[in-house]
C-alpha cells in the first residue's frame, strides 16, 4: 500500500488550487464583455426617480397637518406675545370686557391664525404630492404609502383649517361675556 506524505498531499492540493484559480480567471474573462455591455446599457437608460421627494413631501404634509391641530410652537409664542401686548395696552381703568378681549381674545385669535396657516401649508403640500404624478414620468405609478400619507396630510389640513376658522370666528370656544 502506498501512503502519501504531508509534503506530497500539499503539492497535490496546491496544483488543484492553481487549476481552480485558472478556471475562475477564464470564466471571468468570458463574462467580462457581457457584464460591460449590461453596465453600458444601464448607464444609457435614463435614471428613474425613486420617489424620495414625494415621500418626504407626504410626510411633511402630515406633520404640518398635525401641527395645525395643536397650533405648534409658533402659535404658542404668538399667543403669549399677543397676551403680553394686550396686558400692556389695557389700562387698569378699562372695563372687564375690554380687558378680556385684549388679554385673552387676541391671544386666542393669534393661535387660531397660526394653526390656519399650518393647515393651509399642509393642504398645499399634500395636494402637490398627490398631483405630482400627473406632471411627472408617464407610466410611473406613485407608491401606495405615499398616496396614503399625502391623503392623511390633506385630511389633517382640512380638519385643522376648519378648527382654525371656528376658533378665529369665536364659533368654537368663544370668549365669555363680561356683562
What distance in Å separates the CA atoms of residue 164 and residue 171, rounded to the nearest whole number? Answer: 10
Rounded to an integer, the average pLDDT of 42-62 is: 74
Question: Which cell is 120 given?
Answer: 393651509
Tell me the average pLDDT across 103-129. Answer: 89
pLDDT of residue 121 exceeding 90, the answer is yes
Which pLDDT band holds residue 14 (cuts at 50, 70, 90)? low
Q: What is the pLDDT of residue 127?
A: 93
Q: Give the global pTM.
A: 0.65
Mean pLDDT of 60-75: 89
Distance between CA atoms of residues 174 and 86, nearest Å: 17
Identify the three-state secondary structure at position 58. Answer: helix
**pLDDT tops 60 at residue 47:** no
Amino acid at each position: 500500500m502506498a501512503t502519501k506524505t504531508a509534503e506530497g498531499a500539499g503539492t497535490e492540493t496546491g496544483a488543484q488550487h492553481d487549476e481552480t484559480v485558472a478556471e475562475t480567471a477564464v470564466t471571468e474573462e468570458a463574462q467580462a464583455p457581457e457584464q460591460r455591455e449590461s453596465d453600458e446599457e444601464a448607464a444609457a437608460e435614463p435614471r428613474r426617480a425613486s420617489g424620495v421627494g414625494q415621500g418626504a413631501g407626504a410626510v411633511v404634509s402630515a406633520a404640518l397637518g398635525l401641527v395645525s391641530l395643536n397650533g405648534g410652537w409658533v402659535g404658542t409664542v404668538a399667543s403669549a406675545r399677543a397676551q403680553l401686548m394686550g396686558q400692556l395696552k389695557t389700562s387698569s381703568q378699562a372695563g372687564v370686557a375690554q380687558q378680556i378681549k385684549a388679554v385673552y381674545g387676541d391671544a386666542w385669535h393669534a393661535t387660531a391664525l397660526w394653526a390656519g396657516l399650518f393647515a393651509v401649508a399642509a393642504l398645499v403640500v399634500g395636494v402637490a404630492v398627490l398631483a405630482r404624478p400627473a406632471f411627472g414620468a408617464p407610466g410611473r405609478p406613485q407608491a401606495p404609502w405615499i398616496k396614503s400619507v399625502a391623503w392623511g396630510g390633506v385630511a389633517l389640513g382640512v380638519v385643522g383649517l376648519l378648527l382654525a376658522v371656528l376658533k378665529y370666528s369665536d364659533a368654537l370656544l368663544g370668549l365669555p361675556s363680561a356683562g
